[in-house]
Amino acid sequence: MALSFPAELRYADSHEYAGPSGAGMRLGISAFAVDQLGDIVFVELPAVGEQLERGNRFGTVESVKAVEEIYAPLSGTVLAVNQAVVDQPELLQQDPYGAGWLLELSATEPQQFDDLLDAASYSAKLAGAA
């Protein structure tokens, strides 16, 4: 499967993404991270209203191979949690940038978005790591 990295999103070194969505930023994990995990069986996410600090853990994704922590690419307040992914973790595998989004966040420091990697830089970083 060819991995895609939508150009409108920005990516963290730890494989989370952020992108504008409505009143805030939508967060998730990249297709690369999903591909590395394999069959995802469980997703743990924070509650609406929780404060996230960039670089700190905000949840976990469990696959048949491993349990991986998810780190916040931006600081802010959780506006929405994708309950569908909690109920059906396979959505994350099927559509990490669409139905498989994880959170919506009201960024407290929107300029942090500009510090993340653009799609080309993220893709190049992954190619160098292969």
What beta strand segments (E) does 24-124 contain?
A: 24-29, 40-44, 51-52, 57-63, 67-71, 76-81, 103-107
Residue 65 lies in a domain: yes
Instruction: Reply yes or no on whether the pLDDT at 32 is more than 80.
Output: yes
Confidence band, pLDDT 50/70/90 cuts, at residue 1: very low
Q: Does residue 48 sit within a domain?
A: yes
Residue 129 clears pLDDT 70, i.e. is over it: no
User: In this structure, is residue 129 part of a structural domain?
Assistant: no
Identify the bridge partners of residue 25 per DSSP, sorted by sequence position. 20, 105
pTM score, two decimals? 0.93
Count up the domains in the chain and report the number: 1
Stretch 69-96: mean pLDDT, rounded? 96
40-76 pLDDT, tens digit per residue, is 999 999 999 999 999 999 999 999 989 999 999 999 9
Domain that holds residue 75: 10-110
Q: What is the CATH number of the domain that holds 49?
A: 2.40.50.100
